[in-house]
Amino acid sequence: MSTAASGTKTIIEFDDKVVRQFLVATMVWGIVGMLVGVIIATQLAVWQANFNTSFLTFGRLRPLHTNAVIFAFVGNMVFTGVYYSLQRLCKVRMASDFLSKLHFWGWQLIIVAAAITLPLGLTRGKEYAELIWPINIAVALIWVVFAVNFFWTIAKRNEPTLYVGIWFYIATVITVAMLYIVNHLSIPTSWTHSYPIFGGVQDALVQWWYGHNAVAFFLTTPILGIMYYFLPKAAGRPVYSYRLSIVHFWSLVFLYIWAGPHHLLNTALPVWLQSLGMLFSLMLWAPSWAGMLNGLLTLRGAWHKLRTDPVLKFFAAAVTFYGMATFEGPLMSIKSVNALSHYSDWTVGHVHSGALGWNGFMTAGMVYWLAPRLWNRKLHSTQLANMHFWLGLVGILLYVAAMWMSGITQGLMLSATRESGSILAYPNFLDAVTSTMFLHHIRAGGGLLYLAGFILCGYNLWKTAWGAETVNGTMEVFVAEKRHAMGLGRGFLNAPVLYSLALVAFSIGWAALPATWGGLCIVGILATVMGAVTHKEFSGTAWSDWYEELLANSLQFSLLTALAVATGGIVQIVPTVIMQKAGNMEGVRQIPYTPLELAGRDIYVREGCYNCHSQMIRTLVGDVLRYGDYSKLGESIYDHPYQWGSKRTGPDLARLGSKYPNVWHYNHMLDPRNVSIGSTMPNYPWLFRDKTGVEALVSKIAVQKKLGVPFRETTLSEIQESCAKQAGVIAADLKTAGVETPPDREIVALIAYLQKLGRSEPVKPAPSAPPVVQR
Amino acid sequence: MFRRLLVTDLMNDFALITFAIFFLIFIFTAIWALSLPKKRVNHMANLPLESDQDNDEHHA
């Protein structure tokens, strides 16, 4: 062990209480999140499991499941691993016990708030970003509390070197904060409702920049940090190649941030962004597999222990699933593969091989390793832990195999054509639903087995911990008297950083500026490269010394990482935000909503319809034949939030307006099987009871206008008059079709919105407006 | 502004540009990682294996 040149020896006690608390929270919320998962999987197989109640419908429970698993289960698991390993790798107790406590209880309160608000239909309507704005602010504040405690601990450390696992944690802390804040920028209309400041394509791009990187920096990088700490611990040997782990970290962090647009392939998103997303995703395969191989090879010479040690069994399987999911992801990012896989169950299977296999099994391995150490007692039953492993493994395999088969069947059936590609082979969407129904039963069964495994795990840990004496770890460390600090200036004002910044600036200039300036930027790029080489040659300094120093100075390291990550986001998002505005649209532009249609749209968002229905017709033959002309950017430009969706459990709704009469929608929402035999959609009886909240439209329309959406009506009386008029027409039409309903009911507003879908008008670009490609 | 991104066929060159950037970063990182002194690498690799005072072994 290396020590500081001069210093004193002392014994420190780690704060393991917070680790125990996070571990218990991981298990409790994990079981809750998985239970909700099993319920919604059952609802897709047996529609009656929606129970005709608003708060138990699939559209409201699915966000609860995803948020619970991502932020409550994996979130608490990450904090467990970080608080345990950070203290030991830095050889110091957490900087502030108070901040640790505040972090723990704040995070649990946020989870409780989410569990209450989501079933009530209080949502922002964006996947994995559904929580309402007051909870968003709480999340940001608690994350800052965690970050302060985290970096303060690193600053106080007694080990000069930062282990690679901590680099992964740093990338997580910084990037998650940035992603979360940008994707949650909203203007409130009330204490429980807001509209995102981005709309249409801008919102889609920001959402998937966030959504993809939530997977990258919340579900992957912190778990890799945990893998690099706990796997060597469990195997009793250092990581296979520390050098490879360095290459793994930098190439992974550099690539991940660019890959978001692969969620929007073949859509109305500009083609250059689709190409960028696809290529970076393909390259991600290399660093991901470097990490997987490094993890698996760490077990070299310890494979025999897998027979008896459940911890290693879980870790080995988890790393294997990581390899499988990170092979499958790039594969699905290839545009032609994505044409088949997107909007289908294949994506669900892919996500779950990552969530159940990688995240879930890493959690299990970690808690089985930690519990005996945190409660100072042998694990209650190794046999039960082994049983958990096999139940979980069989559960995942059933789940993933069912979703693969179901997804590929759906993709093939829905895109199949005959008569030389002029007619759909399966014109009825429900054919794809009914023919994959048995696979949904198998999926629900697989999920149930996986949940059973975690219930066994919870019981095993409870028996281990119950009545045991808790113990906090201690370590004898050398406390350095003084450590060389780099200084903020030296972190930034030095040759490697300045030359890199110049290269990035010239490259962006070349891509973004007109041709003459672009040419100058190429000269700038060449001059920078030559300048850097000459400078290095003549100065005789080793730039790697600066880098070594940087690794020991976490503030500078973190700020430079933040800068690198932000550059990726800016390059992708800024051109779209500046150019793709309503005024710049060519071809067609959405006809703005009336107040009643806006109220209907908010009901659509509240019920989580986007969980099963897309509003984006892709540039693919199957899509165009089934749903009409492909969607243009201008057709959703006023949509705050955008509702392009990511899954088609039901058909696309982008051009639903005027397709069916009002009474069809009325009967369909009452019981979808009235008009679509074999449908698995829930009934929505409460829409026929509850009244439309017209008063709330005043502040909602004021915010929409602020965001650039044109509305004629502004005062309450104008809005009421407009709503009453439009609702009266719909109610009268329903009456002539033999159905009587008061015009102030939510169903009328929803029908108004559904009949508006796909309505647009042709526009001519202003003479001064720059040309925009619509591909 | 953004003419190259939005109007021209810059995306045709993306494959090459993105690969070149990634490859350069990969090469630089790999060279740096390979040039690290063996003693330092071993020290870093063994950081997780340093146990609490209360030895881990009897829990296994």
pLDDT in tens, A254-286: 888 888 889 989 988 888 788 888 888 998 998
The per-residue pLDDT for B16 is: 75
Residue B15 lies inside a defined structural domain of this protein:
yes
The most confident of the ranges A3-17, A156-170, A527-541, A726-740 is: A726-740
Residue B39 lies inside a defined structural domain of this protein:
yes
Parallel, antiparallel or unpaired: strands A474-480 and A7-13: antiparallel
Does A516 contact chain B (CB < 8 Å)? no
The predicted-structure confidence for A436-469, as pLDDT tens digits, reads as follows 999 999 999 999 999 999 999 999 999 999 988 8
Residue B53 lies inside a defined structural domain of this protein:
no
Does A163 contact chain B (CB < 8 Å)? yes
Count of structural domains within chain B: 1
Please state, in angstroms and rounded to a whole number, the distance separating the CA atoms of residues A265 and A39: 31
Q: What is the mean pLDDT of residues A523-532?
A: 88
Q: Which domain holds residue B41?
A: 3-46
The predicted-structure confidence for A190-211, as pLDDT tens digits, reads as follows 999 999 999 988 899 899 999 9
CATH of region A7-469, choose from 3.10.20.90, 3.30.1330.10, 1.20.210.10, 3.40.50.2000: 1.20.210.10
Residue B60 lies inside a defined structural domain of this protein:
no
CB contacts, 8 Å: A272 with chain B: 5-6, 10-11, 14
The per-residue pLDDT for A772 is: 47
Residue B36 lies inside a defined structural domain of this protein:
yes
- Residues contacting A36, CB < 8 A, separation 6+: A61, A64, A65, A68
The per-residue pLDDT for A767 is: 55
The per-residue pLDDT for A219 is: 95
The predicted-structure confidence for A603-616, as pLDDT tens digits, reads as follows 999 999 999 999 99
Residues A525-529: contacts with CB under 8 Å, at least 24 apart: A528/A499, A528/A502, A528/A503, A529/A503
pLDDT above 90 (res A659): yes
Tokens, residue A90: 């830095």
Give me the half-sphere count of Cα atoms (radius 13 Å) on the Cβ side of residue A704.
26
At residue A53, φ and ψ (nearest 5 deg) are -115, 150
User: Is the CB of A89 less than 8 angstroms away from the CB of B48?
Assistant: yes
Q: Is the dihedral of CA A332, A333, A334, A340 positive or negative?
A: positive
pLDDT above 70 (res A775): no
The per-residue pLDDT for B31 is: 86
At residue A424, φ and ψ (nearest 5 deg) are -75, 140
Among A742, A714, A754, A482, smallest CA distance to A615 is for A754
Closest residue in chain A to residue B4, using alpha carbons only = A511
pLDDT above 80 (res A50): yes
Q: What is the mean pLDDT of residues A44-63?
A: 95
Structure letter (DSSP) for residue A123: -
Which residue in B5, B33, B60 is closest to A246 by CB distance? B33
The predicted-structure confidence for A322-374, as pLDDT tens digits, reads as follows 999 999 999 999 999 999 999 999 999 999 999 999 999 999 999 999 999 99
Chain B nearest-CA distance from A118, in A, is: 39
User: Is the CB of A254 less than 8 angstroms away from the CB of B46?
Assistant: no
User: In CATH terms, is domain A590-763 a member of 1.10.760.10?
Assistant: yes
User: Is the CB of A544 less than 8 angstroms away from the CB of B6?
Assistant: no
The per-residue pLDDT for B21 is: 78
pTM of the full structure? 0.90
pLDDT confidence band for A311 (50 / 70 / 90): very high
Chain B nearest-CA distance from A289, in A, is: 14
Please state, in angstroms and rounded to a whole number, the distance separating the CA atoms of residues A126 and A773: 27
- Residues contacting A687, CB < 8 A, separation 6+: A603, A669, A745, A746, A747, A750
Residue B29 lies inside a defined structural domain of this protein:
yes
Closest residue in chain B to residue A162, using alpha carbons only = B44
At residue A639, φ and ψ (nearest 5 deg) are -85, 110
The residue among A86, A224, A246 with the most chain B CBs within 10 A of its CB, best to mutate, is: A246
Better pLDDT: A481 or A100? A100
The predicted-structure confidence for A209-256, as pLDDT tens digits, reads as follows 999 988 899 999 999 999 999 999 999 999 999 999 988 998 888 888
pLDDT above 70 (res A522): yes
The per-residue pLDDT for A774 is: 41
User: Is the CB of A243 less than 8 angstroms away from the CB of B29?
Assistant: no
The predicted-structure confidence for A396-420, as pLDDT tens digits, reads as follows 999 999 999 999 999 999 999 998 8
The per-residue pLDDT for A734 is: 96
Q: What is the mean pLDDT of chain A?
A: 91
Q: What is the mean pLDDT of residues B26-41?
A: 85
pLDDT confidence band for A2 (50 / 70 / 90): very low
Which residues of B lie closer than 8 Å to A, measured between beta carbons? 1-7, 10-11, 14-15, 18-19, 22, 25-26, 29-30, 32-36, 40-50, 52-54, 56, 59-60
Q: What is the mean pLDDT of residues B39-54?
A: 83
CA distances A330 to A223, A763, B15, B42, Å, are 20, 38, 15, 33
The per-residue pLDDT for A253 is: 84
User: Is the CB of B43 less than 8 angstroms away from the CB of A575?
Assistant: no
Does A306 contact chain B (CB < 8 Å)? no
pLDDT > 90 in chain B, percent: 0
Q: Is the dihedral of CA A471, A477, A481, A484 positive or negative?
A: negative
